[in-house]
Amino acid sequence: MGTGAGRKRPVIRSITICIFGDSLATYYQRELEAPFFHHYLKGAGDGKTGLPKICLFDTGLKTWKTFSTWPASASHRLSWYLTPTGQLSTQVTNPTRFREYVSDPAHPVPYSEATLTAESDFSALFSYMSADQRFASKRADVLTFQTDILTQNLTVGGEIAVRLNVSTTGSDADWVVKLIDVYPPDEPNHPYQPNAQTPLASYQQLVRADVMRGRFRHSFEKPEPFIPNQVTEVTFQLPDVLHTFKKGHRVMIQVQSSWFPLIDRNPQTFVENIYKAGAADFQPARHRLYGASVIEVTTLP
């Protein structure tokens, strides 16, 4: 492997800086970590540290915030329906209409654009959790839904509940849901950004994402197949978040059925043990996502 002297590690740091800001950990180290250890190692150690009960980093405003409860007491729930027209709407429209795509295990959606071209470069492992998702939006096997341009800041804090109404021509399927912050087309590049390698204009920043392997939609102990072409509800949660979508940005949801190699490929044919699936079990399948599908978030004032 060598020392890695030829690797472009500064690019990783530059991407992190232009997304989240420089000296990200300074506040945490000075205002939280140092007082905590001083109190318990050199101070009274009685638990009265004076530290906030909850302190979180807002990945949109790029600032630390404190809370007495989580989610915040003034929060309320907001539902975004995945409409057949590709809009994120607060009202359900045409719940029985659908959008569809073909998921082919032989050509899975990669978890990062870097995995398409990188050779002996581990940058994708460090940057994929906030990486640009435009490469995925261009694929026919990824559905995108987005709001209109926001007229004011929108802060999402807490759990993200996913409730999809789906069907498939196969008997198994994965469902990947991604929450994305779409930057405005006039967003300037950051001074730390090397050679404008990834322009921030119209950048699609991954905020949160997770996957539900469809066979476990009812129970992790008792997997079960899908009945081909039968509408089925798939529910799960994305990790908690604190992110402010700024005025002028858009909120986007992407739905897909592979995330390789972060998630192993689903053969889309129900087998007892996916790890023992044969080549013939890996089959393309047509998946449908219906208009009754909804993403529920908690918004903060």
Amino acid 74: pLDDT:
83
Give the bridge partners for 241, in sequence order.
158
- Please check whether residue 4 lies inside any domain of the structure: no
Strand, helix or coil for residue 168 = strand
Classify the C-alpha dihedral 9-12-14-20 as positive or negative: negative
Tell me the three state secondary structure of residue 260.
strand
Q: Is residue 119 part of a domain?
A: yes
- Residue 189 φ/ψ, nearest 5 degrees: -75, 160
Q: What single DSSP character describes residue 137?
A: H
- Mean pLDDT throughout 35-42? 95
Please report the pLDDT score of residue 12 as a whole number.
45
Strands (DSSP E) found in the chain: 54-58, 63-67, 76-82, 88-89, 98-103, 143-146, 154-168, 174-182, 204-213, 232-245, 250-256, 285-290, 294-300
Quick: pLDDT tens for 192-211.
665 556 788 999 999 999 99
Mean pLDDT value across residues 93-113: 95
CA angle 38, 41, 43 (to 5 degrees): 60
Residue-level pLDDT at 10: 42
- Mean pLDDT, the chain, rounded, equals 89
Instruction: Judge whether 2 lies within some domain.
Output: no
Assess contact for 156 and 276: CB atoms under 8 A.
no
Least reliable range by pLDDT among 27-31, 128-132, 157-161, 277-281:
128-132
CATH number of domain containing 254: 2.60.120.260
Matching residue, tokens 């405005």: 184
Nearest-angstrom CA–CA distance, 226 and 228? 6
Residue 24 is classified by DSSP as T
Residue 114 predicted with pLDDT over 80: no
Residue 93 backbone dihedrals phi, psi, to 5 degrees: -135, 135
Q: What is the extent of the structural domain holding 90? A: 9-300
**Using alpha carbons only, what angle is made at residue 164 by residues 158 and 167, rounded to the nearest 5 degrees?**
160
* Tens of pLDDT, residues 6-38: 444 444 445 555 566 666 788 889 999 999 999
DSSP 3-state of 266: coil
Average pLDDT over residues 78-85: 97
* pLDDT at position 72: 87
Alpha-carbon Rg of the chain, whole angstroms? 21
Residue 3 inside a domain? The answer is no
Q: How far apart are CA 236 and CA 93, in angstroms?
A: 22
Tokens standing for residue 92: 């359900």
225 vs 26, residue with greater confidence = 225
Rounded Cα gap, residues 81 and 121, in angstroms: 38
Answer whether the bond into residue 284 is a cis peptide, omega within 30°: no
% of the chain residues with pLDDT over 90: 77
pLDDT tens track for 236-274: 999 999 999 999 999 999 999 999 999 999 999 999 999
The answer to whether the CB of 141 falls within 8 A of the CB of 257 is: yes
pLDDT at 17: 55
Q: Residue 257 has which token pair? A: 């059925």
Domain count, the chain: 1
- Predicted pLDDT at 174: 98
What is the total residue count of the chain? 301
1 lies in some domain: no
Q: Which has the closest alpha carbon to 112: 264, 267, 261, 9?
A: 261
